[in-house]
Amino acid sequence: MLYRSLYKQLLKNGRAVTENNEKVNEEFIEKFSSITDEDKEAGYIYVLKSKSTDPEIAQKENLYKIGYSKNDVANRIKNAEKDPTYLMAPVEYIAGWKCYNINPQKFEQLIHNFFGNSCLEIDMFDDNDKRHTPREWFIVPLGIIEQAIQLIITGEIVKYKYDPDSVVIYEK
């Protein structure tokens, strides 16, 4: 009875633990450890979290920027607090993927389109009071972002859709 009670509680919100991080990382390394010197490095896809103190931004859970850079991400974000793209605040590097033999801009666009219905709607003003509307911030849990990236890598993303209300990726 205790086992069934535990099982029921694990499935209560419609989610269940099916794999641990170590297994997922091992499978990822197995699939992508075949990168050679002949492969062409194309850039980085990265995930950032805002360290903004603005109450409108700081109160949002699971707010992440999903972006692309041809250069090292650390260089890209070093002046984030002066850039409306980064919500005029410092950011924290959360995750990143080095891309090979693909167009990372299209990869980024695919992610943005996939999560388009959970894009942050906000206007930012720079130091010159010019209005900007950052379009790369999404209210999506990190695990769901990682799941979507895995679906893009495997090519299965076209079969799926993201539902921000129930916070799940489901098959179309």
133 compared with 22, residue with greater pLDDT? 133
Residue 57 lies in a domain: yes
pLDDT band at 21 (very low <50, low <70, confident <90, very high): low
Structural domain count of the chain:
1
Positive or negative torsion for Cα 12, 15, 18, 22: negative
Query: In this structure, is residue 50 part of a structural domain?
Result: yes
SS3 category, 72: coil
**Residue 127, pLDDT above cutoff 70:** yes
Q: Would you list the DSSP string of 134-161?
A: --SEEE--HHHHHHHHHHHHHTGGGGEE
Question: What is residue 165's predicted lDDT score, i.e. its pLDDT?
Answer: 92
| Enclosing domain of residue 71 | 39-141
**In a domain? residue 29:** no
Instruction: Decide if 52 contacts 122 (C-beta within 8 A).
Output: no
Is 126 a domain residue? yes
In the chain, the amino acid numbered 4 is R
The arithmetic mean of pLDDT across residues 125-142, rounded, is 93
| pLDDT tens digit sequence for 104-118 | 788 889 999 999 999
H or E, element range at 65: strand 63-69
pTM of the model: 0.76
Encode pLDDT of 33-72 as tens digits: 566 777 888 888 899 999 999 999 999 999 999 998 888 8
Give the DSSP H or E segment for 94.
Answer: strand 91-100
Encode burial over 50-66: b for 16+ CB neighbours within 10 A, e otherwise.
bebeeeebeeeebbbbb
Other C-beta atoms lying within 10 Å of the C-beta of residue 42:
17
More confident call, 71 vs 148: 148
Q: Would 7 be classed as within a structural domain?
A: no
